[in-house]
């Protein structure tokens, strides 16, 4: 039970901090580095704790997670070099890829890209229609309505991570049952007698 709680705390801490990163990106087109540090540290704590407790089924090998993070870093550095995303987006994408591993890398990229596309369409609509009369100065909406071509890609990254985590099974209650020993499962399945 301890390992399940540890895993869930680290997972939901990472997602909560990811949501804060997305909101920060919308409000001021900035993602503080501490958010990426917290998400990466939460993964390392969860992975080490589960590995130490012999509950390694939820994650792939550590190398799988490192390779996914490395691949995402390469992809996002290229996007940064072409001025498609910012450096903070690269860091955020890399730490969420660390969580996803190779098993969740393809869905993470797919849903992150779809989320970015939806945000790009929203940006075009905001530029053309200018629906907000007094958006907060420096916010994404204000900048886009002012003529800049900006997308808060942190939002797309968090969306991609949530969808990848769902596909991997991080939210699957039946898949998380391996955290309980067999005596608990047998007792639970037989009605507690």
Three-class DSSP category at 134 = coil
What pLDDT is recorded for position 181? Answer: 57
Interhelix angle 87-129/153-168, nearest 10 degrees: 110
What is the tens place of the pLDDT at every residue in 158-191?
999 999 999 999 998 876 776 765 434 444 444 5
Is residue 124 scored above 50 in pLDDT? Answer: yes
Q: What is the pTM of this model?
A: 0.89
Q: Two tokens at 6?
A: 């540890």
The span from the CA of 19 to the CA of 31, in Å, is 11
Q: Two tokens at 113?
A: 């890209």
Domain boundaries, the chain: 2-181
Instruction: Give the CA diameter of the chain.
Output: 68
* Average pLDDT of every residue of the chain: 91
Handedness of CA 184, 190, 192, 193 (dihedral sign): negative
The span from the CA of 136 to the CA of 99, in Å, is 33
């Amino acid at each position: 039970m301890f390992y399940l709680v540890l895993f869930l705390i680290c997972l939901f801490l990472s997602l909560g901090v990811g949501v804060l990163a997305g909101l920060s990106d919308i409000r001021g087109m900035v993602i503080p580095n501490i958010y990426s540090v917290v998400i990466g540290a939460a993964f390392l704590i969860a992975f080490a704790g589960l590995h130490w407790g012999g509950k390694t089924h939820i994650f792939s090998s550590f190398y799988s997670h490192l390779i996914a993070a490395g691949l995402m870093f390469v992809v996002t550095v290229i996007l940064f070099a072409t001025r498609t995303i910012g450096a903070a987006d690269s860091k955020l994408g890399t730490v969420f890829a660390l969580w996803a591993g190779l098993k969740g890398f393809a869905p993470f990229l797919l849903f992150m890209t779809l989320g970015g596309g939806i945000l790009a369409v929203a940006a075009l609509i905001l530029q053309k229609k200018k629906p907000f009369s007094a958006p907060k100065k420096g916010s994404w909406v204000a900048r886009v309505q002012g003529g800049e071509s900006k997308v808060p890609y942190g939002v797309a990254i968090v969306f991609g991570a949530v969808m990848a985590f769902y596909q991997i099974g991080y939210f699957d209650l039946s898949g998380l049952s391996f955290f309980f020993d067999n005596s608990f499962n047998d007792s639970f399945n037989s009605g507690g007698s």
